[in-house]
Amino acid sequence: MKIQTPYYLIDEKKLLANLEKIKYIREKSGAKFVLALKCFSTWSVFKLMSKYMDGTTSSSLYEARLGYEQFGKEVHAYSVAYPKNEINHLKKISTKIIFNSISQLNRYYKDVKNKNLGLRANPQISYSHFDLANPARKNSRLGVINKKDILKNINKLKGLMFHFNCENDDIKNLEKSLNYIGTQYSDILQKLEWVSFGGGIYFTKEGYDIEKFISVLKNFSDKYKVQIYLEPGESAITNSSQLHTTVLDIINNGKNIAIIDASTEAHMLDLLIYGIPAKIETDKKNKHEYIIAGRSCLAGDVFGTYKFKNPLKIGDNIVVSDVAGYTMVKKNWFNGLPMPSIVVKRLNGKTEIIRQFTYFDFKKSLS
């Protein structure tokens, strides 16, 4: 089937490989897994994912509602700050409501006191390659630092959330961090039912020590008698998706530049935010080097520089790998560029075009 580029392609067989790891870790460690919708909200594959995960976690009312309607199971609601109208909706659909501050907890406690409530704690340790994504950065607004404040309000809480990792593939660092949290918060943990260690733990990365990971989780859970929750985003969908594009033009301005029918600004925004290259399969031994660039008017709309075996031609297909996380949830209408379709290759091998976007979607997004 010929599909007009650009389009995102989600391969359920590749997705299943991550889900099987999650299933194994769940069974061996006793930890529960909720999908972080801020990373991946493409609900056309939720039917498969819900068989292997315990629910969803959100950062807003809309995400919580999507998890409730399309994923089912547990619905964890969290927000840096809730407006009153969102609390009124969330208390109807959420199984857990997690507050970012003591002030918000106290402001809304009367409204939600019958719910399973949690609080985000900031242990002032973290693992992140980027200050932008570091929840323990200086003057961070994310989570409560003062443990005495948490203890004063402990009777209102069932759990704590520690979201302190970003692409942490270092199991030794994670073990050290959990030991630190256990020691620092032991008097609080003993009064709780559950603890969430958030997302950002890269346990589906090739070579990650899964057995050690299981041991670390189980030891913590057994020692403090708490149910552990993890909130994977990237780890749930690692290497499951691609962005298919077509070369529209080739120019030379000191280097060969291939312009494709996609854009980092509009379709892979994290590449720009973090200054990282796209994953395009090439070989450094190849001779034909090209800058792969987007078609927006932004001067820095560049996917990266790559070497190809043969010279590129207009009409060639360029495939960007590992694109599920923070792409479809961040895509936008910058320059009015056509938004990539969403395509799913099912477990049975059948390819489905789930959604195609048109001018009318662009028009309706504005006023």
pTM reported for the whole predicted model = 0.96
Which domains does the chain show, CATH number per domain? 13-237 (3.20.20.10), 239-364 (2.40.37.10)
Q: How many residues does the chain have?
A: 367
Question: What one-character-per-residue DSSP string does 123-179 give?
Answer: -S--B-S-GGG-TTSTT--SSB--HHHHHHTGGG-SEEE---BSSB--HHHHHHHHH
Report residue 151: phi and psi, to 5°.
-60, -35
What's the one-letter identity of residue 304? G
pLDDT per residue of the chain (367 residues) written in tens, 0 to 9:
789 999 999 999 999 999 999 999 999 999 999 999 999 999 999 999 999 999 999 999 999 999 999 999 999 999 999 999 999 999 999 999 999 999 999 999 999 999 999 999 999 999 999 999 999 999 999 999 999 999 999 999 999 999 999 999 999 999 999 999 999 999 999 999 999 999 999 999 999 999 999 999 999 999 999 999 999 999 999 999 999 999 999 999 999 999 999 999 999 999 999 999 999 998 888 999 999 999 999 999 999 999 999 999 999 999 999 999 999 999 999 999 999 999 999 999 999 999 999 999 999 999 9
Radius of gyration of the chain (CA): 22
